[in-house]
Chain A
Amino acid sequence: MNDTALVLTLAASMAAAVPIALAALGELLAEKAGVINLGVEGMMLIGAVTAFQVGDASGSLWLALLAGSLAGAVFASIHAFLCVTLRANQIVSGLALVIFGIGLSTFIGKSIEGQPLATDFRPVRFGALADIPLIGPLFFNQDPMLYATIAIAVLIGVYLNRTKAGLAVRAVGESPGTADTMGVAVAAIRYIHVMLGGLLAGMGGAYLILGQVPSWSQAGTTAGIGWIALALVVFASWKPMRVILGAFLFGFARRANFWLQGEGVDIPAEFLSMMPYLLTIIVLVVWGTRDLRRKIGAPAALGIPYIRDER
């Protein structure tokens, strides 16, 4: 009985990991290019509300997902413009993005407040494999987005470490001046990766509304997942596969309370909802401590606007 509860909880935590992982992978791309974007929560909300509206109007799950992702990318371009073109403070711009995202998504979502969405993701069954105890429900009977997310993480790993373009991205995050002299288009790379970050955050938000939460409930839809994603990038030392592992952990933490309650352990909901913000503070401490940042492998030029030295 308890075993089943645990297995169900584990399976659910893997699904719960998807939006966290997507958003964190997006943030990882932006940060590898040297731009920190605290606006993940805002981008996820924009992605979610767009996906809801499009899904509601079209009835197509995939169209909704696509629309949510693109909305996230467009929203992130504000951050790219402020931080890359205008060289604004990235922390301030990111926070502004969150506040703006909350406001804008609330406005767009006024008509759908509390409404459920008809469409939903269906799990993909891998035939007999899905019936293997423990492993089956965890790995072979999940919804397609989980598999897609893992694939995205693998692709990002290959992209960053094995390709010419990925090398350029890392160079831009480590030493934009060097990259610039070596013929790498610094601003373009930063724009693209901030927007890719927004795309994945938007996708995470879209998945949240399409596959996990029952209805649109303004900022409660994301409930701090964006902040967790932000922290996750740091805890994963900017490594995509570690992001996936970490996302499962956080996913478990989000689902564990049901199982723990069954076991007689009661963690106050207020404590859990406080966690994302606590994590964010930890991230900012790391971000502010140069030695620590270097030690855990943060891109050296993270958060620093690039100004070409003309001589």
Chain B
Amino acid sequence: MTASPAGPGSDHPGRPAAIAAVQVTKRFPGVLANDKVDFHVDVGEVHTILGENGAGKSTLAAMLCGLYQPDEGQIFLSGAPVRLRSPREGLAKGIGMVHQHFRLVERFTVAENVVLGDPQQARFIKATEVEARVGEIGERFGLPINPRARIADLTVGQRQRVEIVKMLYRGADVLLLDEPTAVLTPNEVDALFQTVEAMTAEGKAIVFISHKLGEVMAVSDRVTVMRAGAVTGEVATADTSQRHLAELMVGRPVEVETRRGQSPSDVALSVQGLDVVEDGQKVVDGLDLEVRRGEIVGIAGVAGNGQRPLARAIAGMIKPSAGSVSICGKDVTAKGTKAARKAGLAFVPEDRLGTGLVPGLSLTDNMLLTRKRGFFVNRSEARAEVETAIVDYEIKTPSTEAQARLLSGGNSQKVLLARELANLGTPDGPQVVVVSSPTRGLDIGAAEFVRGLLHEARERGAAVLIISEDLEEVRSLSDRMAVLYRGRVAVEGPTDQLSIEQIGLAMAGVAEEGAA
């Protein structure tokens, strides 16, 4: 009854869908990004587009908001066919997109960002009027925000609120939220979901783009699942389960397995009283951390709370202003990257191209970078290694000699992981690995494979440190975890003994600063 085919109409006869895509197809050179996709959201409904990276959900969203035009098929707005030539035109017609990467001017106030480029704004800006309206919208939709605050002073969660207010201010009736929870703490996610509820109650239509099953079940009324550019199913949340959605997403039954390690032995990575100062600010502040052989430790926290400098200090890329780092018993504090690697470290940095891989070198040459070197390099060995990696990780590349920069984000990450995780924990290989966001940007298959590798390395006795802003990633992988807040460990413990509330409060800094 509810699952009528998507079209310019909706599930409710006589009331057209707020926005609908009918049989839309989009091709990019060599890729069929969207293949005859049907999708529609009703007024007052939350409809999720679920899919892995590369499934085509971003392309669909881009067509709905006017960033791309469909090659075939038609977009309907309230039942009437429309052609959206740009996001600006989309916004003028009431379609607002909240991107994962915020589009905000840091030095501007909230109010200034909200009126920037607003076609309805009169020539002269009356700041008090704008501020009053921003405040009013914030109250109505549960988006508390100080209109006079500068963006630079706001947290990521607050910035996201500004993005949503910006769209509502311009009268958007359809809101597309692209992976909105990726950057939020659990508490902020709850607040966002309340806002979503308030928006649907006022008749807004919400398109939620996500790959996280738990959230999808919690927030949406209906889910459209995509795989490889096509819709594999459209279901009402009430009639489905996470397992069923995962199967639609991957195309086969999925095992959600988490193995916990046995007993960790001696300390392989030790960080004592580490201080790092950047731009005159202490970004890592008296941090202590130990990772033992045979355990995976995860570092969680909102972006910018010291994760990056911590990783870089361990890897020897920056000099800490105080404290020490030792790897396998060797003090490598401020001795540079070579000393760290010699002591047994493998390192997967946050920025894959540039720090991790040399964009202009071939995959083989990139593989050679960390391989044992005499005077001559062994290219054929490295090439064989790349060839194995291409099969194991399902890396899409024209050849082993292609430049690293030609690969997509997910694929270049796979190459980097293949290089750094190889021989991990074996007597000849590295003993300690620091990995930033190990499964970010990977499809489920490759993510499973990487998880397997990390677990295997742990069984072999490697010490693994995972640093990620994706809380689920940290929780699913690590035996022990720590939450960073302003460069300090806010909470720490065995992963299965920390509640999500505890972690959420620590991420928000509540434990440290009293009630917020």
Contacts and interface: CB of A to CB of B under 8 A. Distances in A.
Interface of A: 162-165, 167-168, 170-171, 174-175, 177-179, 181-184, 291, 300
A157 to B, nearest CB: 13
Contacts of A165: 123
28 contacts: A162-B124, A162-B125, A163-B125, A164-B118, A164-B121, A164-B124, A165-B123, A167-B116, A168-B116, A170-B105, A171-B105, A171-B108, A174-B105, A174-B107, A175-B104, A178-B104, A178-B113, A179-B116, A181-B87, A181-B99, A181-B103, A182-B103, A182-B116, A182-B117, A183-B91, A184-B117, A291-B279, A300-B107
B112 interface: yes
Contacts of A178: 103-105, 113, 116
A105 to B, nearest CB: 38
Given A182-B116, A184-B117, A174 B124 contact: no
Contacts, number: 59
B107 A167 contact: no
A179 B87 CA distance: 13
B36 interface: no
B122 interface: yes
Given A178-B104, A300-B107, A164 B115 contact: yes
B125 A183 contact: no
A179 B115 CA distance: 11
B110 to A, nearest CB: 13
B103 A177 contact: yes
Contact of B105 (A163, A179, A183): A179
Interface of B is mostly: loop
A300 B105 CA distance: 9
Most buried by A among B104, B113, B116: B116
A181 B62 CA distance: 13
Contact of A164 (B87, B106, B107, B123): B123
Interface string B117-131: 111011111000000
Given A162-B124, A183-B91, A291-B279, A168 B107 contact: no
Contact of B122 (A164, A181, A291): A164
Interface of B: 87-88, 91, 99, 103-108, 112-113, 115-119, 121-125, 279
A144 to B, nearest CB: 28
B340 to A, nearest CB: 27
A184 to B, nearest CB: 5
A163 B123 contact: yes
Given A175-B104, A179-B105, A300-B107, A168 B123 contact: no
Nearest to A309: B101
Contacts of A167: 108, 112, 115-116, 125
B119 A183 contact: yes
A178 B123 CA distance: 20
Contacts of B115: 164, 167
A182 to B, nearest CB: 3
Given A167-B108, A175-B105, A175-B106, 7 more contacts: A163-B125, A171-B116, A171-B117, A182-B116, A184-B116, A291-B279, A300-B107
Contacts of B279: 291
Most buried by B among A162, A179, A182, A184: A182
A-B pairs with the 5 shortest C-beta distances?
A182-B117, A183-B117, A183-B88, A178-B103, A181-B103
Most buried by B among A174, A175, A184: A175
Contacts of B99: 181
A164 B103 contact: no
Nearest to A177: B103
A168 B117 contact: yes
Contacts of A168: 116-117
A54 to B, nearest CB: 34
A167 B115 CA distance: 9
A291 B105 CA distance: 18
A164 B125 contact: yes
Nearest to B89: A183
A129 B123 CA distance: 37
A179 B279 CA distance: 27
A170 to B, nearest CB: 7
Contacts of A175: 103-106
A60 B23 CA distance: 69
A38 B342 CA distance: 48
B106 A300 contact: yes
A179 B113 CA distance: 9
Contacts of B87: 181
Contacts of B112: 167
A172 to B, nearest CB: 9
A170 B106 CA distance: 11
A185 B87 CA distance: 13
Contacts of A163: 123-125
A83 to B, nearest CB: 21
Contacts of B116: 167-168, 171, 178-179, 182, 184
A302 B124 CA distance: 25
A174 B123 contact: no
Contacts of A300: 106-107
A82 B279 CA distance: 34
Most buried by A among B107, B108, B123: B107
A183 B124 CA distance: 18
Contacts of A174: 105-108
A300 B107 CA distance: 9
A177 B116 CA distance: 12
A74 B414 CA distance: 52
Contacts of B106: 174-175, 300
A192 to B, nearest CB: 16
Contacts of B91: 183
Contacts of B121: 164
Contacts of B105: 170-171, 174-175, 178-179
Nearest to A184: B117
Nearest to A181: B103
B120 to A, nearest CB: 10
Contacts of B122: 164
A183 B86 CA distance: 9
Contacts of A291: 279
A22 B99 CA distance: 41
A174 B88 CA distance: 20
Nearest to B59: A311
B62 to A, nearest CB: 8
Nearest to B166: A182
B418 to A, nearest CB: 26
Contacts of B124: 162-164
Nearest to A291: B279
A162 B119 CA distance: 16
Contacts of A182: 103, 116-118
Nearest to B92: A183
A168 B121 CA distance: 12
Nearest to B86: A183
A170 B108 contact: yes
Nearest to A175: B105
A174 B112 CA distance: 13
A174 B105 CA distance: 6
A145 B111 CA distance: 37
A164 B87 CA distance: 20
A67 B113 CA distance: 39
A151 to B, nearest CB: 18
B129 to A, nearest CB: 13
A175 B107 CA distance: 9
